[in-house]
Every structure is written in C-alpha cells, then in structure tokens.
Amino acid sequence: MGIISRGFSGRRAASDVKLPPGQYLTKDFPVLSAGPTPRVPLETWEFTIADGKNVVQRWDWNAFRALPSETPTVDIHCVTRWSKLATTWEGVSLDTLFANVKTDASYVTVESYGDYTTNLPLKDLMGGQAWVAFRFDGKDLAPEHGGPARLLVPHLYFWKSAKWVHGVTLMRDDKPGFWESLGYNNYGDPWKEQRYWE
Ligand SMILES: Nc1nc2c(c(=O)[nH]1)N[C@H]1C(S)=C(S)[C@@H](COP(=O)(O)O)O[C@H]1N2
Ligand SMILES: [Mo]
C-alpha cells in the first residue's frame, strides 16, 4: 500500500511516512559531535583512499570538486532516535571515488579530521549507497555538520556518516571505530534497530 501510493503520487503523504522502529521525526537538524568542530581550510583539505598503509588515491579540494557529483534526497536516522526525511545533499558517490581502486579488502575504516573513526563493510559504501557530501539543502555544508565534506551513508544510523571526512582505509579485518568501541552496534541498521552491541 505504502509503496503503491507513494509511487503514484510521487511524494509521501503524512499518513504514509514510515520510520524505523523507535524513531521520531524532527524538522531541526540537531548537531551531534563527540568533540570540537575542526576547521579544515580548503587549501590543505584532502581525501585519501588507503589500502592498508598504502595511499592508493588522493584528491585535493579542487580535484575532488572536479569529480562528477550527485544530488541524493535521503532519509537520515540518528541512534539518539531523531530522523529527518527527504534531506537533500550534493556529493561525490563512493562508486566514483573507488572507480580505479582494485582491492580484495572487505572492510573500511573511515577517518575524519579531528580523530573520529567509524567502520563498515566496503560493500555498504558501494552501489549508490554512500557519498562524500559537500552541500546540504542547497548550501555549502556548515562546519558543525561536517563541512567542508562528510560521509553520507543514509541506510545506516547517522554515526556512520563521519563528519569532516579525511579518508578511508581498506582493511582485511574489521575493526570497531569510535562509537563502535564504546558500545554502539558494529553495523547499525536502523530498520533492525541495531543500536548497541547485543
Ligand atoms: N567526525 C565526526 N563525525 C560524526 C560524529 C562525530 O562526533 N564526529 N557524530 C556522528 C553522529 S553520532 C551523528 S548522529 C551525526 C550527526 O551529524 P549532525 O551533527 O550533522 O547532525 O554525525 C556523525 N558523524
Ligand atoms: Mo548519532
């Protein structure tokens, strides 16, 4: 029913809205940061992909912004129970960033300016599921929301969407990131309510 009427009307009626279990809707955009907001000048900003210790791809801001970008509209779900629907972003797909990377690694650690890390399976970054986003709601991403650029992985709880993203490291073995080491679930599927380690 939900899917049929949604497809038919082309937008969601209020009665159609389906939130993951235990979530409530908010119109605000709360700021959740584990530490101070790092200020990253565009002149020194870079995004790298490393395979173990070897950096295999590197972009400075101009090279990064010269890549083709996309404008996803997605729902986001924070483990602290707020959700926002139909948020609009601009960013570079991880498929684009990984286009020339060959690896047999199955996991990644995402690293941010200012020390934050988060881990996820590499396949969750691929297939149109993840972006390095630099614009939100038509405006440059504000520093408190992760500007100049943040990861956006909307199908997982929002702590996986690392703000001030600096790069990703490919790993053969999975390794818990910042919140995952402090008790948040290793994977974090909001539809399965994977908030904490069992
Ligand atoms: N670098 C970094 N990224 C981060 C965080 C953080 O503390 N540091 N918090 C995470 C959490 S728990 C959430 S819910 C979202 C919050 O993003 P927002 O502040 O833009 O709402 O960022 C995630 N990414
Ligand atoms: Mo969060």
61 Cβ contact list (under 8 Å, min separation 6): 42, 43, 45, 46, 148
CA of 5 to the centre of ligand 2 (A): 31
Provide the pLDDT for residue 17: 63
pLDDT in tens, 144-184: 999 999 999 999 999 999 999 999 999 999 999 999 999 99
Whether pLDDT at 110 is above 60: yes
All domains of the chain in start order, with CATH: 47-191 (3.90.420.10)
Q: Which pLDDT band holds residue 16 (cuts at 50, 70, 90)?
A: low
This prediction has a pTM of 0.92
Q: Is the dihedral of CA 89, 34, 20, 185 positive or negative?
A: positive
Counting ligand 1 atoms within 8 A of each CB, the residue from 31, 33, 75, 182 with the most, and so the one to mutate, is 33
Ligand 1 cavity residues, CB under 6 Å: 29-34, 78, 112, 114, 116, 145-146, 158-159, 161-164
Give the number of whichever ligand sits closest to the CA of residue 80.
Answer: 2
Provide the pLDDT for residue 198: 67
Mean pLDDT of the chain: 93
Provide the pLDDT for residue 18: 82
Whether pLDDT at 10 is above 60: no
CA of 159 to the centre of ligand 1 (A): 5
| CA 54 – CA 51 distance, rounded (Å) | 5
CA of 122 to the centre of ligand 1 (A): 20
Q: Tell me phi and psi for residue 192, to 5 degrees.
A: -100, 5
Give the number of whichever ligand sits closest to the CA of residue 33.
Answer: 1
Q: Is the peptide bond before 148 cis (omega within 30 degrees of 0)?
A: yes
Counting ligand 1 atoms within 8 A of each CB, the residue from 27, 29, 32 with the most, and so the one to mutate, is 32
Provide the pLDDT for residue 101: 98
| CA 192 – CA 101 distance, rounded (Å) | 31
Tell me the residue type at 51. Answer: D
CA of 128 to the centre of ligand 2 (A): 22
Q: Is the dihedral of CA 100, 101, 104, 106 positive or negative?
A: negative
